[in-house]
Amino acid sequence: MNTKHLLILFTTLLLTLFSSCKEKADPETEIARRLRDVSRLELAQMTIGKVGMISDHKYEDAKSLEDKTKAMLNAMKIGNRIGVYSYDTYLIAYIDLSELSADDIEFDPNTNVAHVNLPSVKIITDGREPELHEVHYRVTGFRSSIKPEERAKLKAQMAAEVKKEVAGYEGSKELLRDEARKKAVSWFNGIIESWGYIPNITFKD
């Protein structure tokens, strides 16, 4: 389920649970308990993509004697051999509502303010195995087709590059956290205002 659909369901849940909890003596405890059941609320996502190419060796790019020999033979063949592939992984910003307690929610009847102290925004990579997607494929003349082991080698290379890039994306991660915080504040503000309270949303960062 994507982030947009999850947030719509989450909004519906909050609207219905408050209507059932507001008459209770301790609505903070009940609301915190029900929010903990939601667990992970995904708020923002970033795609990190790489593009790689498979083609026959060129003599100027060959490093070993074997590669230079292959490049010389390839130069004699008629046709073209090229495959272009994309490799995408995703960073997801979320808050873990299972960390909420009744102390993080307070309804002040004197000021009509609802204080909610949300868990800090966390970032993870999508747990799904990224796929190698073919963008362009052209093999003509006497050139051989691109083999599965060549694709596997390219995928491993691109995965290593993406992993290295993700580790160094601190600036981008902070932008993603900011986007997630803004979205969480906007969502909770709208819901709390619909309850008739003035929202005050903070984070445990």
Amino acid identity, residue 148?
P
Mean residue pLDDT across the chain: 80
- Could you tell me the pTM of the whole model? 0.68
Q: What are phi and psi of 54, to 5 degrees?
A: -115, 130
Q: Integer distance in angstroms from the first to the last C-alpha of the chain?
A: 27
The predicted model gives 69-85 an average pLDDT of 77
* Domain, as residue range, for 139: 3-203
Query: Is pLDDT at 134 greater than 60 in this prediction?
Result: yes
Torsion, Cα of 201, 6, 96, 163 (10° steps): -120
Q: Strands across the sheet with 105-108, in order?
A: 105-108, 113-118, 198-203
Number of domains present in the structure of the chain: 1
Q: What percent of the chain has pLDDT over 90?
A: 29
